[in-house]
Amino acid sequence: MRSLNSIQIGRTTRRARFAFLAAGILTFALAGAVSAQHRISLSGDIQAKISYCKDCHGVSAQGFNGYYPIPRLAGQQPEYIENQLRAFIEHRRTNNIMFNVAHSLSPAMINTLTAHFASLNPPPIGGAPRQLVATGRKIFEDGMPEVNIAACAACHGPEATGSGQIPRLAGQLYPYMIKTLSNWDKERGRNPTVPDAAAIMSPVAHSLNKSQIEAVAAFVSTLRSPRGTPNTVQ
Amino acid sequence: MSFRRPQRQRRWAFRSPAGAALIWPAAVLALSFSSPATAQGNVSKAEADAKLRYCEVCHGVSAQGFHGYYPIPRLAGQPTEYLKNQLQAFVERRRTSNIMFNVGHVLSPAMIDALTTDFNELNPKPLGGAPKENIDEGKKIFENGIAAANVPACASCHGPEAKGNGPFPRLAGQLHDYITNKLTNWEKERGQNPAQPDISAVMQPIAHTLTQPQIKAVAAYLSYLE
């Protein structure tokens, strides 16, 4: 029994050695061709990843109403997207789907993806009640100083294009805006050991009532970006 | 209800006789319609704290400044007189900022007293973030000026430690890009209402004379100053 086993192992080892040697020779012989192919398949990977993101975030990443409102990524600040992807991994945002998505992304892939999304500029999906837009614009541009609500424009910019870690809101989905602002403390800053910039929005989101949130959401959801690329000026 | 600093409420300074003439009747009217507590110019601690937190949404934790869409200036440690004058400047359109116009418009004199005192007492670390290679040059310009170009020492008005004085702002710890923006576009940033000339005119020739690299050096130096 024992000797049989050792024979089998010997055969296996010999076979493995042969396979290994053959593979080595093949690798040397095809080194040039393989590296070229690697490059092509890398860009193929990127294309595949982009279309994977767009399965849920919409064909031009303009957002999509799936089971949940799935946010627009088009024209979004690269630094914002990068920070949010990290937020999913660090459980600052708790979302199983996005945790798994983010977990598999290399830093190089994240750079490529965020640059790609920033460069997109499809028109907003729309669908918000039109009659709320004027009130929303007023709140966005001026805030409500009497009740201590800051103007959204101070941080998100007069055209809601965002800046750095501060998100673009122009064209964002109406229901996504409402869901996020209505549940801020459950949507952001979920990991007390990793405090983040989301804390800034907490008092603002808290102070806004439901109809004010709906008005602001309606306004930004209709906003088109004047530029093809987001504003990254500090 | 707790009241704060009733003794400080009469320090509202008018910029010009014209401004005074416009504002006095409004003030008298406001007083005659308000409750006794407001007429005395008191603000509850809760009201003042809520307003302070509101300011800090944009001006950063402890009012150390914040990079929103714009660089939003540090208010911590700023002289109360400077803050009051700037709030008035927004209301009088000497500074044109829609957001700050609206903010300034709703503040009562008592609230302004309470807020400016609070900001003046804050002393957080500077936000930092400026390139460090020209700090020494900036320090030299700040302390000595540039005699050859007729640029006076910044320290002569802003103080040797850039803490400011009265209507002259504290610059220590101010955001470097905020300082750069202001000095680069002085004539669009200040003194916008010809009917209300103000002290910002003093800075105009200086801002003009400074070159862009000099502005950046001074801004970098100040932005790290505690």
Residue finishing a domain among A57, A84, A102:
A57
Q: How far B157 CA sits from the closest chain A CA (Å)?
A: 28
The domain boundary, picked from A57, A81, A102, lies at: A57
Average pLDDT over residues B171-182: 98
Q: Are residues A85 and A50 in the same domain?
A: no
Instruction: Tell whether A45 is covered by a domain.
Output: yes
Taking only the tens place, the pLDDT of each residue in B51-62 is 999 999 999 999
Tell me if A230 is assigned to some domain: no
Q: Return the bridge partners of B168, or none.
A: B165
Q: How confident is the model at residue B24 (pLDDT cuts 50, 70, 90)?
A: very low
Question: What's the pLDDT score for residue B78?
Answer: 98
Does A231 fall in a domain? no
Q: Is the pTM of this model over 0.80?
A: no
Averaged pLDDT score across all residues of chain B: 87
Do A52 and A66 fall within a single domain? no
The answer for A 155-174 residues in CB contact with B (under 8 A) is 155-158, 161-164, 166
A70 plus A176 within the same structural domain: yes
A228 lies in some domain:
no
Q: B103: nearest CA in chain A?
A: A145
Contacts of A156 in chain B (CB under 8 A): 68-69
Shared domain for A12 and A69, answered yes or no, is no
Does A124 score more than 80 pLDDT? yes
Nearest CA in chain B to A160: B69
Q: Closest to A154 (Cβ–Cβ): which among B51, B68, B105?
A: B68
- Whether A227 maps to a domain, the answer reads no
Please, which residues bridge with residue A65 across strands? A69
Domain housing A19: 1-57
pLDDT at A73 over 70: yes
User: Is the domain of A174 the same as that of A206?
Assistant: yes
Residue A104 touches partner B, C-beta closer than 8 Å: no
Chain A's closest residue to B108, CA to CA, is A146
The predicted pLDDT at position B34 comes to: 42
Residue A149 touches chain B, beta carbons under 8 Å: yes
What is the average pLDDT across B133-147?
97
A45 and A78 belong to one structural domain = no
pLDDT at A143: 96
Q: Does A162 have pLDDT greater than 70?
A: yes
Q: How close is the nearest chain A Cα to the Cα of B17, in Å?
A: 28
Which residues in chain A are contacts of B58 at CB distance < 8 A? Answer: 150-151, 154-155
Arithmetic mean of pLDDT, B97-109? 95
- Chain A CB contacts of B48 below 8 Å: none
pLDDT band for position B69 (cuts 50, 70, 90): very high
B12 or A195: which leads in pLDDT: A195
Looking at the 3D structure of chain A, how many domains does it have?
Answer: 2
pLDDT in tens, A183-215: 999 999 999 999 998 999 999 999 999 999 999
Average pLDDT rounded to a whole number, residues B37-41: 48
* The residue to which tokens 């320290």 are assigned: B155
**Residue A211 is part of a domain; what is its CATH number?**
1.10.760.10
Q: What residues contact residue B96 under an 8 Å CB cut-off, 6+ apart?
A: B192
Asked if this assembly's ipTM is beyond 0.85, the reply is no
Q: A109 and A171, same structural domain?
A: yes
Same domain, A25 and A132: no
- Of chain B, the percentage scoring pLDDT greater than 70 comes to 82
For tokens 């800051």, name the residue: A150
Whether A154 has its CB under 8 Å from any CB of chain B: the answer is yes
Pairs across A and B, CB distance < 8 A: 59
**CA–CA distance, B130 with B139 (Å, rounded to integer):** 14
Measured at the CA of A101, the angle between CA A100 and CA A107, to 5 degrees, comes to 115
Identify the pLDDT of residue A226. Answer: 67
Cβ atoms of B41 and B8 within 8 Å: the answer is: no
CATH of domain B6-121: 1.10.760.10
A184 and A213 share one domain? yes
CB contact under 8 A, B68 and A143: no
Q: How confident is the model at residue B119 (pLDDT cuts 50, 70, 90)?
A: very high
Q: Residue B27 pLDDT more than 80?
A: no
Question: CA torsion sign, A10 to A12 to A15 to A19?
Answer: negative
Contact between A234 and B57 using a beta-carbon 8 Å cutoff: no
DSSP states along A114-173: HHHHHH--PPP---S-GGGHHHHHHHHHH-BGGGTB--THHHH-TTS--BTTBPP-TT--
Residue A78 lies in a domain: yes
A232 falls within a domain:
no
Q: Compute the average pLDDT of residues B172-182.
A: 98
Domain ranges for chain B? 6-121, 135-223
In this structure, the answer to whether residues A82 and A8 fall within a common structural domain is: no
Greater pLDDT, B116 or B34: B116
Calculate mean pLDDT across residues B97-116: 96
pLDDT at position B9? 36
- At residue A43, the pLDDT reads 83
Test mutation, B57, B90, B112, B180, chain A, max A CBs within 10 A: B57
A92 lies in the same domain as A34: no
Render pLDDT for A37-62 as a digit per residue (tens, 0 to 9): 445 455 888 999 999 999 999 999 99
Q: What is the CA radius of gyration of chain A?
A: 25
Domain for residue A211, yes or no?
yes
Q: Does residue B29 carry a pLDDT above 60? A: no
Tell me, yes or no, whether A7 and A76 share the same domain.
no
Q: What pLDDT score does A225 carry?
A: 76
CATH class of B135-223: mainly alpha
